[in-house]
Chains A and B, each alone.
Chain A
């Protein structure tokens, strides 16, 4: 075989290149401590590493979600425990009611407990109310103006306050039924000084709504079995800024980015809200363009989750969002100018509250705690403190009634309210226990994720991290090989006949 100069030097250069390539590849692994420095180093491994990273990222995210939910639950738990304790104190006040002298003091105690519970029920987590469901624009609870029926009354229907109290001081109204009967025939008298002086007797209107003065009204519901009876007494503690308890419909509002520049209002034809839970009605304009009365729209009765069919017929100027007979809710749209029309996605909403104290809603808040699994982390005010939805007792009505019963010396009433508070306390304790259970289940998830994360980290490390000892040995070997190549390249020049001529 003839060996030529090109062959000798060519193979030497190739050999040097190989040795240097091996050496620098190991050097890269030493520096990065990783076997996979580019996808082609191990395509399958690189894919697995990316998958593992995705899994670990998701685990970290679920961990963060769990932490958030846990913090919320922990705060809810504390607040609910505090409320439960305060209810216990209010019950004691009721049980301790023994003499007329202590009664007023106890009533005052209950009043301040009520204030404390109210502020606890309005607790926030960050900028969100703990017990408002998904509503964020309004505190869920306010001080209420509650008509309290004396326990000895014949009338057993519901009584709601209405209107807006315009007085500047606290005042107690007393309504006395002068002659019994159904609304339309029964007569009543009103006293605003605790029963010392009475106004002239008047007929209870067929609507059941009687006016107390200072803008305040009381409505007798027709849901009882016994009608108004002569001698029935109702006490109403009015506070400036206090909220009345009859079903309420808030002012309709336009979403902030609407094109429509006109106004939306509740039409005069609207009735009281007849639903038994708080609701958000939504009107959304679709297809874009369209004048008042002509634009296509659709209506949602659950805040926008589900929608009715798109309405394309001309609608004058009003849209009925709730067509419950006798309780229709009608929105009236008034254009600001001749060219004022709706654009696609213009949205208007209306919050309607069932009778009672609560302004929030019954919506669950939840976060993902795993692939395809979620955990509800809120307790709604509805279920904890009202008798709506899943709730059992209207806590604030019970407290207000207890206070009034103590003030009025209605012993039977006090006992009845203590019973209601017992139920309310049980309900709240149940939610404390439930929050604890959710938290411990989150705890278990956290631990499981910790274990899983460790495992995935181990797999990932096996796939991409270098085995340092082996690497160092290999590195030494390649280093020696490279040194040998260098030594040889120096020698090769001498291996020629020229050295001997």
Chain B
């Protein structure tokens, strides 16, 4: 008698296991496209054997756990790679903006205006009293100064934009870190209570990758289920359920330094070695600043050289030449201006080396084009061309690195997919399998039922 009930019980367990199996399959199928979803599997185990008439008999099945199929080493690599991709991505994006600014391939840029400016001086030297030549020169100079202002202003804008993004990235990071700490609490609690925390683990993985995309981190898993997050140089960001918040502090040049909230006077910029933040800080403080410095240097050399020679000549009124460009202040090329006196009256341009109209001063100024000024190793035109080349080179390098890092990321994601991703084909097979298992268990119950009926009719 107990044997038949045993069979019924076994059938019930079979039905239940198949149902759970179908449920897990269903979860897998519906989450097949969910980013970061780790496929799950119902782990079935045969129940401990019972004894029938002194013989050990297998008695049914049980679902011991819903397993989350993942490889923690790939997970570590993915988090690490997220920093690389975060940094290379923002570098590429920012540099492409700079490149668009310095795109001289269609002409009309600074290079062309510089050439036009020198040519206008040459034209004036050939006809030092000509009003047409004077007006053309004033216009060419104004256009050149305007282009310098535009380029420098745009570069400044790109740097300011990087700065805004630094602040945004820091607050995004703070959010991710406090979420990780909160999840740590729930996971530890859930695990100790035997609750399925698989979706919390998925969430935490996603947050770790997000944080790593912003700043280079390392993390360790504790036995209780919590993760501790550290910066690459070993400072704590998350410890169990507490997190350390970062902040920004305005420094002398108006840009933000990244600091710990609890130690706002000690910038940690230098300790950031990866992620979007590292890319942004490098762009703002080194790469884009380098371009801006070069542009300033070019503008300053041009303004000083032209002004210096202009002052030694005489204008059409026979007065000595005044300043041609307004002297550059600390804002550099961003405020390059042709002197208002020159723009207002091109006869103030000092074209001649004497009070008579010899045009020699205009020729001397036009000669700057071919000269290698003190502190330079090339002409101003070549200096600018090499700046454009340098930017092109940097973009090429950044694009190459980004492609490389993204490629590695894709490979790692594929490796992750191989373990943790959902295959519909596989799930369909599981579906059939559990469906059949369910049908078979039902058949078993039916058979036991018939056995019972037969037995009862006997009575």
- Cα distance A61–B125 in the bound complex, in angstroms: 12
- Contact between B104 and A46 (Cβ–Cβ < 8 Å)? yes
A277-301 CB mask vs B (1 if < 8 Å, else 0) is: 0001010100000000000000000
Q: Using Cβ atoms and an 8 Å threshold, which residues of chain A touch B388?
A: 39, 46-47, 50
- Cα distance A501–B428 in the bound complex, in angstroms: 9
- In the complex, A101 has a CB within 8 A of chain B: no
B363's closest neighbor in chain A, by CB? A368
Q: A38-B100, A47-B385, A255-B355 are in contact. Are A14 and B129 (CB under 8 A)?
A: no
Q: Using Cβ atoms and an 8 Å threshold, which residues of chain B touch A346?
A: 319
A281's closest neighbor in chain B, by CB? B355
Q: Using Cβ atoms and an 8 Å threshold, which residues of chain B touch A61?
A: 118-119, 122-123
CB-contact partner of A368 in B366, B419, B429, under 8 A: B366
B335-363 CB mask vs A (1 if < 8 Å, else 0) is: 00000000000001000111111111001
B92-111 CB mask vs A (1 if < 8 Å, else 0) is: 00001001101111110001
Q: Looking at the complex, which of A51-59, A74-82, A412-420, A482-490 is the stretch in contact with chain B?
A: A51-59
Q: Using Cβ atoms and an 8 Å threshold, which residues of chain B touch A304?
A: 314, 320, 353-355
Q: Looking at the complex, which of A125-133, A233-241, A326-334 is the stretch in contact with chain B?
A: A125-133
Q: Which of A227-283 contact B (CB under 8 A)?
A: 253, 255-258, 280, 282
Q: Looking at the complex, which of A64-72, A145-153, A165-173, A466-474 is the stretch in contact with chain B?
A: A64-72
- Cα distance A345–B363 in the bound complex, in angstroms: 22
- Cα distance A305–B123 in the bound complex, in angstroms: 21
- Contact between A64 and B122 (Cβ–Cβ < 8 Å)? yes
Q: Using Cβ atoms and an 8 Å threshold, which residues of chain A touch B319?
A: 255-258, 345-347
Q: Which of B80-139 contact A (CB under 8 A)?
A: 96, 99-100, 102-107, 111-112, 115-116, 118-119, 122-123, 125-127, 129-130
Q: Which of A12-59 contact B (CB under 8 A)?
A: 14, 32, 34, 36-44, 46-47, 49-51, 53-54, 57-58
- In the complex, A196 has a CB within 8 A of chain B: no
Q: Looking at the complex, which of B200-208, B226-234, B391-399 is the stretch in contact with chain A?
A: B391-399
B347's closest neighbor in chain A, by CB? A256
- In the complex, A342 has a CB within 8 A of chain B: no
Shortest distance from the beta carbon of B136 to any chain A beta carbon, whole Å: 12
- Contact between A46 and B105 (Cβ–Cβ < 8 Å)? yes
CB-contact partner of B392 in A42, A136, A282, A368, under 8 A: A42
- Contact between B129 and A136 (Cβ–Cβ < 8 Å)? yes
- Contact between A57 and B115 (Cβ–Cβ < 8 Å)? yes
Shortest distance from the beta carbon of B296 to any chain A beta carbon, whole Å: 19
Q: Is the interface of B mostly helix, strand, loop or mixed?
A: helix
- In the complex, B150 has a CB within 8 A of chain A: no
CB-contact partner of A3 in B352, B359, B370, B423, under 8 A: B423
- In the complex, B33 has a CB within 8 A of chain A: yes
- In the complex, B422 has a CB within 8 A of chain A: yes
Q: A46-B388, A497-B428 are in contact. Are A65 and B413 (CB under 8 A)?
A: no
Interface-centre pick from B130, B320, B367, B381 (highest chain A CB count, 10 A): B320
- In the complex, B241 has a CB within 8 A of chain A: no
- Cα distance A368–B118 in the bound complex, in angstroms: 12
- Cα distance A5–B414 in the bound complex, in angstroms: 11
Contacts between the two chains (Cβ within 8 Å), count:
222
- Contact between A128 and B357 (Cβ–Cβ < 8 Å)? yes
Q: Using Cβ atoms and an 8 Å threshold, which residues of chain B touch A364?
A: 358
Shortest distance from the beta carbon of A362 to any chain B beta carbon, whole Å: 11
- In the complex, B64 has a CB within 8 A of chain A: no
Count of interface residues, chain B, beta-carbon cutoff 8 Å: 74
- Contact between B423 and A368 (Cβ–Cβ < 8 Å)? no
Shortest distance from the beta carbon of A155 to any chain B beta carbon, whole Å: 37
- Contact between A49 and B105 (Cβ–Cβ < 8 Å)? yes
Q: Using Cβ atoms and an 8 Å threshold, which residues of chain A touch B12?
A: none
Q: Using Cβ atoms and an 8 Å threshold, which residues of chain A touch B300?
A: none
B367's closest neighbor in chain A, by CB? A368
The 27 listed contacts between A and B (C-beta, < 8 Å) are A1-B418, A4-B32, A4-B418, A4-B421, A5-B33, A6-B417, A14-B410, A39-B99, A40-B396, A40-B399, A61-B122, A65-B125, A69-B126, A128-B127, A133-B356, A135-B357, A255-B317, A257-B348, A284-B320, A304-B314, A347-B318, A347-B320, A365-B359, A368-B367, A464-B105, A496-B425, A498-B428
What is A's interface to B at a CB cutoff of 8 Å?
1-7, 10, 14, 32, 34, 36-44, 46-47, 49-51, 53-54, 57-58, 60-61, 64-65, 68-69, 126-128, 133-136, 253, 255-258, 280, 282, 284, 302-305, 345-347, 349, 361, 363-368, 371-372, 374, 464, 496-498, 501
- Ordered nearest first, which 6 A-B pairs have the shortest CB separation? A39-B392, A303-B354, A4-B421, A43-B392, A47-B389, A256-B317
Give 15 new A-B contacts, CB below 8 A, not counting A64-B126, A347-B319.
A1-B418, A2-B421, A4-B422, A7-B418, A10-B414, A39-B105, A39-B395, A51-B381, A58-B118, A134-B357, A134-B358, A257-B315, A282-B354, A367-B363, A368-B363
